C-alpha cells in the first residue's frame, strides 16, 4: 500500500468499479473514501443492489444430483481400484472360504473388491454361458490393432476374469471408433448413447474380440458385451458373441 492510490472520480462510475468495491478488490483507503460517495448516488446504489441480488441467486443454486450412470461408473472405477489389493483367487474357493467364515450364504456381504472379482454373471438367453471361475487376466502374445499391448485373454469363457482390466481401458481396438461400437451394439439390440465405462480388445477362446462394459441399469451393475470385430454391425446380431449383466454379490 503506497497511500497514493487515486480515488476514481464520479459519479458516474463503471459497473466494474462498483463491482470491485462490492467485492473488496479496492485498497481499503480507496474503498473508505469511495463508499460514502457511491452510497449517495442512486444509480450506483442500484448497481450495488443488483450485485447483492446476483449473490443471492448464486447462494440459492440447488445441488445437482449426480446422474446414476456417472455414480455407477465411479463405483466401478473405485471397485477396480480396490481390486489389486485383493488377492486374486478362484471364486469358488473364495466363496467356500467366506461361507465358512460367515456360516451363511453369500447374501448381504459386499466388499468393494467384490465388484471386481466376486461377480455373478447373469447370462442372457441366446448368449454364451459363463462360469464362476474368476482368474487373473492372462495376456496372450497376439497384438491388437492400435494397441501395442497384447489383448486380454478371457480365461475359459469367464468374462469376469478380465472385467477389472477392461474397465480401466478406453481402447476401441479393431472397432476403432465410438460410431463403429454403436453400430455393433445396435446389431445386438443394444442402444447405448453413453460412452462405454471401459472397452478393450480381448481374446475369447483364442479369437480376437472387443469387450465393452456398459452401465447395467442399476448402481453396481454392469453389462459386458463381447463383439466380433470381423462380423459385427447394425444388422448383424451374430457379431455379438456375449451379452452378460454382472452385479456385485
Partner 1 sequence: MIALAKVRSVTAAASSDADLISAHAAGDPYAFSELVKRHRDRMWAVALRTLRDPEEAADALQEAFISAFRAASSFRAESQVTTWLHRIVVNACLDRMRRRQTRPTVPLPEAGPGEPVAPRDAMSDRETSLIVQQALMELPEEQRAPIVLVDVEGYSVAETAQLLGIAEGTVKSRCARGRAKLAKVLGHLRNRIADANVPADGVNVQEQRQWEGR
For binding to partner 1 (CB under 8 A), which residues are involved?
5-6, 8, 12-20, 22-27, 43, 46-47, 49-51, 53-55, 57-67, 70-71, 73-75, 77-78, 81-82, 101-103, 109, 111-113, 195
| Closest CB to partner 1 among residues 47, 166 | 47
CB-CB contact of 205 with 157 (8 Å): yes
| Closest CB to partner 1 among residues 75, 208 | 75
Query: What is the closest distance, in whole angstroms, from the C-beta atom of residue 44 to partner 1 in the complex?
Result: 9
| Closest CB to partner 1 among residues 24, 125 | 24
| Closest CB to partner 1 among residues 63, 125 | 63
CB-CB contact of 178 with 172 (8 Å): yes
Closest among 144, 134, 142 to 169, alpha carbons compared: 144
CB-CB contact of 187 with 235 (8 Å): yes
Query: What is the closest distance, in whole angstroms, from the C-beta atom of residue 126 to partner 1 in the complex?
Result: 32
The DSSP line for 221-237 is -EEEEEE-TTT-BTTBG
Question: In the numeric block, which cell numbers belong to residue 79?
Answer: 471397485
User: How many angstroms from the chain centroid is the CA of residue 204?
Assistant: 25
> Cα(62)–Cα(131) distance, rounded to whole angstroms?
46
| Count of CA atoms in the C-beta half-sphere (13 A) of 40 | 7
| Closest CB to partner 1 among residues 75, 228 | 75
Q: What is the dihedral of CA 74, 204, 244, 123, to 10 degrees?
A: -150
Query: What is the closest distance, in whole angstroms, from the C-beta atom of residue 5 to partner 1 in the complex?
Result: 8
> Cα(64)–Cα(77) distance, rounded to whole angstroms?
21
Query: What is the closest distance, in whole angstroms, from the C-beta atom of residue 77 to partner 1 in the complex?
Result: 5
Q: What is the dihedral of CA 99, 115, 239, 152, to 10 degrees?
A: -100
Query: What is the closest distance, in whole angstroms, from the C-beta atom of residue 26 to partner 1 in the complex?
Result: 6
Query: Where would I find the H helices in 60-140?
Result: 68-82, 91-102, 114-117
Question: In the numeric block, which cell numbers belong to residue 171?
Answer: 481402447
Query: What is the closest distance, in whole angstroms, from the C-beta atom of residue 28 to partner 1 in the complex?
Result: 10
| Closest CB to partner 1 among residues 24, 189 | 24
| Closest CB to partner 1 among residues 81, 132 | 81
Query: What is the closest distance, in whole angstroms, from the C-beta atom of residue 140 to partner 1 in the complex?
Result: 28
Amino acid at each position: 500500500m503506497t497511500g497514493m492510490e487515486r480515488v476514481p472520480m464520479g459519479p458516474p462510475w463503471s459497473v466494474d468499479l462498483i463491482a470491485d468495491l462490492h467485492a473488496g478488490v479496492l485498497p481499503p483507503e480507496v474503498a473508505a473514501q469511495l463508499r460514502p460517495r457511491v452510497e449517495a448516488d442512486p444509480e450506483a446504489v442500484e448497481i450495488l443492489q443488483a450485485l447483492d441480488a446476483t449473490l443471492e441467486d448464486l447462494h440459492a443454486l440447488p445441488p445437482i444430483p449426480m446422474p446414476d450412470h456417472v455414480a455407477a461408473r465411479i463405483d466401478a472405477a473405485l471397485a477396480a481400484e480396490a481390486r489389486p489389493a485383493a488377492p486374486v483367487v478362484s471364486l469358488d474357493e473364495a466363496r467356500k472360504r467366506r461361507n465358512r467364515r460367515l456360516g451363511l450364504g453369500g447374501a448381504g456381504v459386499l466388499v468393494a473388491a467384490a465388484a471386481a472379482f466376486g461377480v455373478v454373471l447373469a447370462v442372457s438367453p441366446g448368449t454364451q454361458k459363463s462360469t464362476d471361475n474368476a482368474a487373473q487376466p492372462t495376456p496372450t502374445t497376439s497384438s491388437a490393432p492400435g494397441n501395442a499391448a497384447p489383448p486380454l485373454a478371457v480365461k475359459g469363457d469367464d468374462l469376469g476374469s478380465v472385467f477389472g482390466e477392461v474397465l480401466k481401458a478406453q481402447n476401441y481396438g479393431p472397432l476403432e471408433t465410438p460410431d463403429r461400437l454403436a453400430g455393433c451394439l445396435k446389431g445386438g439390440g443394444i442402444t447405448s448413447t453413453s460412452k462405454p465405462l471401459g472397452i478393450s480388445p480381448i481374446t475369447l477362446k483364442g479369437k480376437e474380440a472387443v469387450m465393452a462394459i456398459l452401465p447395467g441399469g442399476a448402481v453396481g451393475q454392469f453389462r459386458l458385451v463381447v463383439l466380433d470385430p470381423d462380423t459385427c454391425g447394425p444388422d448383424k446380431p451374430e457379431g455379438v458373441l456375449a451379452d452378460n449383466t454382472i452385479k456385485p454379490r
